[in-house]
Amino acid sequence: MLDVSKIRADFPILSRQVNNKPLVYFDNAATSQTPQPVIDVIVDYYSNYNANIHRGVHTLSQEATDKYEIARQTIQTHFNAKHAHEIIFTSGTTHSINLVANGFSALLKKEDEIIVSALEHHSNIVPWQMLCERTGAVLKVIPMNLEGELIMETYDNLLSDKTKLVFVNHISNALGTINPIEYIIKKAHAVGAAVLIDGAQSCPHIKPDVQALDVDFYVASAHKVCGPTGVGMLYGKEEWLKKLPPYQGGGEMIAEVTFEKTTYADLPHKFEAGTPNICGGIAFGAALDYMNNIGFDNIASYENELLAYATEQLSTIEGLKFYGTAKHKTSVISFNLEGIHPYDVGTILDKLGIAVRTGHHCAQPIMDFYCIPGTIRASFAFYNTKEEIDVLVEGVKKAKMMLS
Ligand SMILES: *Cc1c(COP(=O)(O)O)cnc(C)c1O
């Protein structure tokens, strides 16, 4: 069991007031908060050993390089990658996806097919559309049902020997649906396609094992797992990372690269041009350490309790409609009040110190599917409490009264 009050004491921001009310932070799917041990690592870096890495013989540079490479190993261990050089530091999930999409420009030809899902974040749709424009490849979409689950029968039918790449998120940021990625990966491999899984939304809740999944690429952002913004990672199987051309150097140039003509630095440096976010990478490692100390099994079971409680309490409100009621979902609740714009509800909740997200959550196709402009999304983390959910429920009731 979690000692939630002890955990909350680790997060300085959780004791601040917003609009003269105690902050209730329910926007964890957009970004998570940062605990003191991670803040300490950031302060320590700039106070004691800020230096450029992999270049200097001097002590500070050695220290920074060591810590950065230790962080890479922490990430490797966390995801159970076979090699540390299969972990590429990036600026985040979006960067990681673009890196792979650019790499595939050199590998795809006209009429090859890429499959994505209807549940994707914009950062998972646009790079593939751009890739299709460049290569003449065709984008296919796995549709969803009303519960917010992907329809696997259609996926089976979409797969063929033309399929070169399948891309889905592990967990949908808009609805919280946990997708059956084991099945998706197995089926894609059966037709010889590679699979990239967007783990931005799953990593705060589950600890993925990339070898057990046998996934080709897996991507995540540090800021959703209690780390800083502007840093993330790409896991790629060694054989794939060797096959893909480097990303930075300019998109135009990358389209011209062929494997015969070009030689690259060894992995992982081939994909890490320029001075990286050194402090961020080190803090990413510290954030994973922090979460592993709490334990992902503990986190998941506590968050499931919060999800069940919030679902039960919110469903007592008449005219409240949930979006995304998948059997397997994580602690994200998307809902609307009948006849009321989500933005107006969000504004009133903010006055009460409650941070939720309103809008399309960078997933407009999902909103189009439901024919709505957006939803109110409350997303819970392991440092949230049932008392905070009570505050939310009261706030939603109040908003409903004021707006209807
Ligand atoms: C947050 C998120 C992203 C984008 O992550 P960035 O850190 O902004 O690059 C992509 N996919 C999903 C599912 C997300 O939740």
Separation of alpha carbons 338 and 322, rounded Å: 11
Of 26-35, 293-302, 308-317, 356-365, give the lowest mean pLDDT range: 356-365
Whether residues 337 and 236 fall in one domain: no
Whether residues 279 and 308 fall in one domain: no
Indicate the pTM of the whole model.
0.95
Is residue 28 in contact with ligand 1, taking CB distance under 6 Å?
A: no
Q: What is the mean pLDDT of residues 115-137?
A: 90
Residue nearest to ligand 1 atom 12, measured at CA: 200
Strand-strand pairing, 217-221 and 194-198 = parallel
CATH of the domain at 82: 3.40.640.10
Whether residues 337 and 193 fall in one domain: no
Whether residues 188 and 304 fall in one domain: no
Whether residues 205 and 168 fall in one domain: yes
Task: For residue 167, report the distance from its CA to the centre of ligand 1, in Å.
Answer: 14
User: Do residues 286 and 75 make contact, with C-beta atoms less than 8 angstroms apart?
Assistant: no
Domain end among 293, 308, 328:
293
How many domains, in total, are found in the chain?
Answer: 2
Whether residues 149 and 235 fall in one domain: yes
Q: Which helix (H) or strand (E) holds 135?
A: helix 126-135
Domain end among 293, 312, 327:
293
Whether residues 175 and 212 fall in one domain: yes
User: Do residues 137 and 166 make contact, with C-beta atoms less than 8 angstroms apart?
Assistant: no
Whether residues 300 and 382 fall in one domain: yes
Quick one: pLDDT at residue 124? 79
Task: Return mean pLDDT, the chain.
Answer: 94
pLDDT digits (tens, 9 = 90+) for 317-374: 999 999 999 999 999 999 999 999 999 999 999 999 999 999 988 888 899 999 999 9
Instruction: Give the CB-side neighbour count of residue 348, counting CA atoms within 13 A.
Output: 19
Kindly indicate the confidence band of residue 37, based on its pLDDT and cuts at 50, 70 and 90.
very high
Q: What is the mean pLDDT of residues 15-21?
A: 97
Of 31-35, 252-256, 380-384, give the lowest mean pLDDT range: 252-256
Quick one: pLDDT at residue 254? 38
Quick one: pLDDT at residue 244? 93
Mutate to test the pocket of ligand 1, among 31, 221, 224 (most ligand atoms within 8 A of CB): 221
Q: What is the mean pLDDT of residues 192-202?
A: 97
Whether residues 281 and 340 fall in one domain: no
Whether residues 18 and 53 fall in one domain: no
Sign of CA dihedral 269, 275, 277, 282: positive
Q: What are phi and psi of 226, to 5 degrees?
A: 70, 15
Separation of alpha carbons 150 and 155, rounded Å: 8
Domain assignment of residue 326, given as a range:
4-30+295-403
Write out the catalytic residue numbers: 362
Is residue 123 in contact with ligand 1, taking CB distance under 6 Å?
A: yes
Task: For residue 20, report the distance from its CA to the centre of ligand 1, in Å.
Answer: 31
pLDDT digits (tens, 9 = 90+) for 212-269: 999 999 999 999 999 999 999 999 999 999 999 888 753 333 335 566 666 678 899 8
Q: What is the mean pLDDT of residues 18-34?
A: 98
Domain end among 293, 327, 342:
293
Is residue 202 in contact with ligand 1, taking CB distance under 6 Å?
A: no
Quick one: pLDDT at residue 250? 35
Whether residues 395 and 269 fall in one domain: no
Q: What is the mean pLDDT of residues 63-74?
A: 97
374 by DSSP, 3-state: which? coil
Q: Which helix (H) or strand (E) holds 24?
A: strand 24-25
Whether residues 156 and 17 fall in one domain: no
Q: Is the pLDDT of residue 51 over 70?
A: yes
Separation of alpha carbons 344 and 356, rounded Å: 12
Is residue 32 in contact with ligand 1, taking CB distance under 6 Å?
A: no
CATH of the domain at 353: 3.90.1150.10
Is residue 334 in contact with ligand 1, taking CB distance under 6 Å?
A: no
Task: For residue 202, report the distance from its CA to the centre of ligand 1, in Å.
Answer: 10
Q: What is the mean pLDDT of residues 80-89?
A: 98
